[in-house]
Structure 1
Amino acid sequence: MATIDLDKMDLQELRDLRKKLDKTIENYETRKRQDALAAAENAAKENGFSLSELMGEKKGGAARSANPPKFRHPENPEQTWTGKGRQPGWIKEALDGGASLEDFRI
């Protein structure tokens, strides 16, 4: 390994050296991380698993459960509302016309 006399370097040379060192360290860590990941994947595969199975990762993400509708349009049963979020226009119109929200409850 070459010996570097840091005391003989000027400020710009020292900064350039630091940039090169930082980049070299980053590349080294990336290579080591990739090596470790490959080794873990191989070990999982040898035992009949994928690494994602062992890590508890699920394909497609977790499905969110939909809120069931609580209110239904009296003339068009396909129009429903869960009672959460912005009120649909047909609910607003009915409430403005004097109807009660309970009139639409399923």
Structure 2
Amino acid sequence: MAKSQINLDALSVPDLTQLIEDAKVALEGKKQGAKAQLIEEMREKAAQLGLDLGELLERPGPKTNVRKPRSDTGKAVAARYRSPEGETWTGRGRMPRWLTEAVNNGKAKEDFAV
């Protein structure tokens, strides 16, 4: 890439601003031209292979890593264990103190099954 022959130090602020704007327009034009040329080359190569460019560029739907919400959210869960005093436990989460003590004292958890 050759360095421009423009003496930037000799330009005023408005002239530099105009130069930047003109350069942006020229850059965008070059990008569009290169894009069009690339698309045309890809169409020709796809045609040589007997393919349609649209089929090659078709993208599958977006892939998400979002979990599906539970279907039982907010629904009451039936108790699976009941203590002699009437306390209940659904079997979810941490084992309650009354059941932990009973299991530690030699009783089976299934003895309290509802």
TM value normalised by structure 1:
0.50
Q: How far has the Cα of 1:53 moved from its partner? A: 1.6
| 1:49-88 correspondence runs (5 A) | 49-56=51-58
The number of equivalent residue pairs is 57
Structure-2 residue corresponding to 1:25: 27
Q: Which has the larger Rg?
A: 2
Partner of 1:48, secondary structure, is coil
Runs of 4+ that moved beyond 4 A: none
Q: How far has the Cα of 1:32 moved from its partner? A: 0.4
Alpha-carbon distance in structure 2 between the residues aligned to 1:29 and 1:8: 29
In structure 2, stretches of 5+ residues that fail to align are: 60-114
Q: How far has the Cα of 1:54 moved from its partner? A: 1.7
Q: 1:40 aligns with which of 42, 52, 66?
A: 42
Alpha-carbon distance in structure 1 between the residues aligned to 2:10 and 2:57: 51
Q: CA RMSD in A?
A: 1.6
Alpha-carbon distance in structure 1 between the residues aligned to 2:39 and 2:9: 40
Q: How far has the Cα of 1:55 moved from its partner? A: 2.1
Alpha-carbon distance in structure 1 between the residues aligned to 2:57 and 2:30: 25
Of 47-56 and 27-36, deviating more is 47-56
Alpha-carbon distance in structure 2 between the residues aligned to 1:28 and 1:55: 23
In structure 1, stretches of 5+ residues that fail to align are: 58-106
Alpha-carbon distance in structure 2 between the residues aligned to 1:17 and 1:56: 40
